[in-house]
Chain A
Amino acid sequence: MMFRNVAIIGCGQTKHSSKRRDVSLPEMIEEAAWRAMEDAQVTPEEIDAIVVGNMQGFGGVAQPDQWIGDWIGAPGKPVMRIATGGTTGGSVGQGAIYAVASGMYDKVLAVAWEKHSDSKEPGATTGLLHVALANFFHAFNYGMNLKSLVATTVVGAAAGVAVYQAMFYMHRSGCRIEHFDMVAAKSRRNAAKNKYAHLQWPGCTPEDIAKTEMVAYPFRFGHICPASDGASAIVVAAEDIAKKKEDKAWVKGLASYSDEENQLMSESYGGVGILDASEQMGCRVSAMKAYRMAGITDPKREIDVAEIYQPFPSQELIFAERLGLFDEGKAWVALEEGEMEIDGRMPTDPSGGVLATNAIGSSALQRILEAALQVMGKAEEHQVPKEVRNAVAHGWGGVTNYTTVTVLGDSPR
């Protein structure tokens, strides 16, 4: 394929928490953007173009790209906003990669964020209203009224989709709720080593998680991601620039996927219709494409660490399999054997992942950023204690039908 080699040469993120009331939206975003530019040792003047994004409708700012420009050095430059729901950060990162790989620009800044606390109602209600309404209308097309739709399927946005997905996975794989406790505890422990993460709990055990109350079976309170305020940013550069930098993570392969298949709607109400919500073929197809581009034939052996988009623990297991890192239906067995731990054979989400920190628009860019840190050896306390030659970063969302997979490595393609 005719495109240039590209590397990530700088990473920046904010500390994540429930409320960043001390800063306005652009002030929060610029923290991450300037840290990434400083990390890359480039000035804003040297940046050719900027790709930005957050979850559409969240935070109640319709065109945040127009507000933040002067804070991140955008005046006079192309600014492209991308919004693909929960996958937004992955698409923003890939958008920046496309822009450099195409030869159009040499240095591109990618910035993604969420500021949930600007929503007056808790639980990102204002954002959900925006997103959910579109889905409701979709259901209305099939003659479903709002009340029965909510009663029968939705049960609350992503969590509603994910409970079914988890049940499908448990049924076909033999995975049990105890394994979700293990994943959640691992996420909290890993997050405790990541100074930017939100839900940090050193020494958290599966028993600690098991004590939290049931919300919607099979999810307990401790299984559910938080709503975080925060932002993340990367600087993507062309090969000749990246080669001169000491720290870089090469983009070896990437793919994304979008269709109706994984929308829970399509199961019951039409669309292309699938039966198993945990099938997630978008992730499998994206991974296969990205690995092929990266020259990876055996991901179980060649991938050293994975950053998986997992707002719920079941998803870390499902997507780890779909990314080809474990045998079909066997991720929970590997989990039991400690393989997914930070010092395990195949560490998954050493940063704590989305389960620990969910500034939605930023979450999938954070996976790319965290994978880059692992490749560069700059993840500090949550750096995996082994050589990282290849890392895979995954994004999912929008409501459930977008996937991004990005493979990074220590050498160019």
Chain B
Amino acid sequence: MLHLEREGIVRVKGLPFVARFKWSTGFLMERFIKSLAEKKLLGAKCPSCGYTYVPPRSRCGKCLTKLGEKNLVELSGRGVLVGYTTAYVGLDGEGNFVDLEKPRVIGAIKLEGADSTIFMPIGEIDPEGVREGMEVEPKWREATRGELADIEYFKPSR
């Protein structure tokens, strides 16, 4: 009907009683995710205080400066492991704990040029050999698609 178009109304055809969500990420986060397709890691560098966020965000949490596309910076992808844990127990997808066949290392990584840290699985590593300060780099999946899953894990730099 004409008035619906004029008012920009989205007609609802029913109420499917299931709970799913599709959170909008915001423009800078969308750029970050899309850039993964080109194996690029973007951050946002605050022009006022210099703090660099990965992933990028639109308002500096330190000094409240508004950040935009012009504040995006490309990072090398190399980083340093600043903290880690080794998981021996996982979930089976149905709420049950299962013992992992191989322990899994998860670490906090400070990327070169960034001030914030990201948390990622660490692969190609012997859990006994993990140390703070290790240099790491991303292991990209074969065909990147512009999704968070494009980075499979971080691995020690050779």
Q: When the two chains form their complex, are residues B59 and A30 in contact, meaning their CB atoms are under 8 A apart?
A: yes
Instruction: Write out the residue numbers on chain B whose beta carbons fall within 8 Å of the beta carbon of A212.
Output: 1, 3
Q: When the two chains form their complex, are residues B19 and A70 in contact, meaning their CB atoms are under 8 A apart?
A: no
Q: When the two chains form their complex, are residues B24 and A122 in contact, meaning their CB atoms are under 8 A apart?
A: no
Q: List 19 A-B contacts (CB under 8 A).
A: A21-B24, A23-B24, A26-B26, A27-B26, A27-B58, A44-B64, A59-B23, A60-B19, A70-B61, A71-B59, A115-B24, A120-B21, A120-B22, A121-B15, A122-B10, A122-B13, A129-B17, A129-B19, A156-B15
Given contacts A25-B24, A128-B15, list 18 more A-B pairs with CB under 8 A.
Answer: A27-B26, A27-B58, A44-B64, A60-B21, A60-B23, A71-B59, A71-B61, A75-B61, A117-B22, A120-B20, A121-B15, A121-B18, A123-B12, A123-B15, A125-B16, A125-B18, A200-B7, A204-B3
Which 9 A-B residue pairings sit nearest by Cβ, starting from the closest? Answer: A70-B61, A24-B26, A60-B21, A120-B20, A122-B12, A126-B19, A123-B12, A120-B22, A71-B59
8 Å CB contacts to B: which residues of A148-207?
156, 188, 198-201, 204
Residue of B nearest to A120 (CB): B20
Segment of A12-20, A287-295, A324-332, A391-399 engaged in the interface with chain B = A12-20
Q: How far is the CB of B5 from chain A (nearest CB, A)?
A: 11
8 Å CB contacts to A: which residues of B115-146?
none
Does B88 make an interface contact (CB < 8 A)?
Answer: no
Instruction: Write out the residue numbers on chain B whose beta carbons fall within 8 Å of the beta carbon of A198.
Output: 8
Query: A17, A188, A222: which contacts B8 (Cβ < 8 A)?
Result: A17
Tell me the total A-B contact number using a CB cutoff of 8 A: 95
A residues adjacent to B (C-beta < 8 A): 17-27, 30, 44, 59-61, 70-71, 73, 75, 115, 117-123, 125-126, 128-130, 156, 188, 198-201, 204, 208, 212, 222, 226
Q: When the two chains form their complex, are residues A125 and B19 in contact, meaning their CB atoms are under 8 A apart?
A: yes
Does B96 make an interface contact (CB < 8 A)?
Answer: no
Q: When the two chains form their complex, are residues A18 and B10 in contact, meaning their CB atoms are under 8 A apart?
A: yes
Q: How far is the CB of B32 from chain A (nearest CB, A)?
A: 12
Does B91 make an interface contact (CB < 8 A)?
Answer: no
Query: B8, B20, B29: which contacts A24 (Cβ < 8 A)?
Result: B29
Residue from the set B6, B7, B17 with the largest chain A CB neighbour count within 10 Å = B7
Q: When the two chains form their complex, are residues A119 and B24 in contact, meaning their CB atoms are under 8 A apart?
A: no
Instruction: Write out the residue numbers on chain A whose beta carbons fall within 8 Å of the beta carbon of B12.
Output: 122-123
Instruction: Write out the residue numbers on chain A whose beta carbons fall within 8 Å of the beta carbon of B21.
Output: 59-60, 118-120, 126
Instruction: Write out the residue numbers on chain A whose beta carbons fall within 8 Å of the beta carbon of B25.
Output: 24
Instruction: Write out the residue numbers on chain A whose beta carbons fall within 8 Å of the beta carbon of B58.
Output: 24, 27, 71
Q: When the two chains form their complex, are residues A201 and B6 in contact, meaning their CB atoms are under 8 A apart?
A: yes
* Complex: A123 Cα to B110 Cα, angstroms: 42
Q: How far is the CB of B14 from chain A (nearest CB, A)?
A: 8
Q: When the two chains form their complex, are residues B26 and A23 in contact, meaning their CB atoms are under 8 A apart?
A: yes
